[in-house]
Amino acid sequence: MKCEELLRILGDYVDGDLDPALCAEFDRHLEGCNPCQVVVDTVRKTITLYKNTEVYELPPAFRERLHRLLRERWKAPPTPHEA
Amino acid sequence: MSDDATLVTRAQAGDFAAFEQLVSRYEQRMYTLAMHVLHQHEDAEDVVQTAFLSALEHLGELRQPAAFAAWLTRIAVNTALKVLRKRQGLDAVSLEAVTAEDEEGAIPHPQYIADWRDDPSQTVEQRELQRLLAAAIAALPEKQRVVFVLRDVAGMSVEETAQALGLSPANVKVRLLRARLVLREHLTRLFGDERRRLVPPRHAGDAPRATPAAQRLPRNQEG
């Protein structure tokens, strides 16, 4: 397997969707190719970083508004009637 | 702490405190998702609000309480995509049409390979890390970004992502691979240790290497 071929199936590899024979070939390539090892590991790291980092923080003022609104809706009767 | 299924069951029986715990558990995640897709605070807030209102309204219809997170994520993603399509002035179908033809471009080839497998958050302040990650994902072409967000941030399956976007699973995989590689490249330029930079090896049969910009994989066959 060449680096180019590895790159094509890298997505399936990190998702664990590669068939076992191809996966073994992939692993064999990695054993002898440090740059590809680093690429595979840093792709994994990229995914983990985005999965685990709250890149945007929920604005506290919005959070308050949201909870207030939900509470009001929760209390609200299902059909409108006189106040 | 109660699990989702317990909280959903209590909320379905009329317990607002239980519902609010679910909101607190997932509001940050839904907001991040919406921001990744839309890059605009007001729109992201609208999406989160709409998603939770919809969850509140349809909670009784949720048959599998343990599936609350996936259900809520689907609502939020669909709401965000609706906003995105409206913003583009496109109908629900043409997101696919607009993006279908350029699937055959080259897969980005790793050019900058340097180790940053140790946790970069130990060396970079959390806030700075957030800023850098936001900038990197914002720089992705929209069609790649949305696939990456649905699949890798929201944790949707390839099939669910394909369905939400009106794409084939093969399309989703190609866009996802491209997005992951572009982000990896971007982050490596930020976090990679220049002193430990590795040169991509050459293999027999590789195309001759010209300028870095010309380093391309063969066009993929998927269309």
Question: What DSSP line would sit under A11-66, residue for residue?
Answer: HHHHTT-S-HHHHHHHHHHHHH-HHHHHHHHHHHHHHHHHHH---SPPPHHHHHHH
Domain assignment present for A81: no
Structural domain contains residue A82: no
CA separation for the pair B151, A15 (Å, rounded): 11
Interface of B with A in 18-77 (CB under 8 A): 19-20, 23, 27-29, 31-32, 35-36, 41, 44-45, 48-49, 52-53, 56-57
CATH code for the domain in which residue A38 is found: 1.10.10
CA distance B23 to B31: 11
Q: What is the pLDDT of residue B97?
A: 47
CA distance B88 to chain A (A): 23
Which of the four pLDDT bands, split at 50, 70 and 90, describes residue B211?
very low
Q: Tally the domains of chain A.
A: 1
Asked if residue B49 has pLDDT above 60, the reply is yes
Q: Residues B172-184: what's their mean pLDDT?
A: 96
- A13 vs B98, higher pLDDT: A13
The pLDDT confidence band at residue B149, using thresholds 50, 70 and 90, is: very high
Assigned domain for A48 exists: yes
Q: What is the DSSP letter of B102?
A: G
* CB pair distance less than 8 Å for B180 and A11: yes
* Count of A-B CB contacts under 8 Å: 139
Give the chain B residue whose CA is nearest to the CA of A54. B32
Average pLDDT, chain B: 84
Is A83 within a domain? no
Is B110 within 8 Å of B184 (Cβ atoms)?
A: yes
* CA angle (B79, B84, B87) in 5-degree steps: 125
Q: What is the rounded average pLDDT of the residues B65-71?
A: 93
Rounded to an integer, the average pLDDT of B1-15 is 93
Q: A45-59, B39-53, B143-157, B198-212: which range is least confident on average?
A: B198-212
Parent domain of A14: 3-75
Q: Note whether B53 and B38 are within 8 A (CB).
A: no
Which tokens is B209 given? 């290497």
The model's pLDDT over A47-75, given as tens digits with 9 standing for 90+, comes to 999 998 888 999 999 999 999 999 999 97
- Give me the residue from B116, B130, B173 closest to A53, CB to CB: B130
Q: Which domains does chain B have, with CATH numbers?
A: 1-89 (1.10.1740.10), 91-201+212-217 (1.10.10.10)
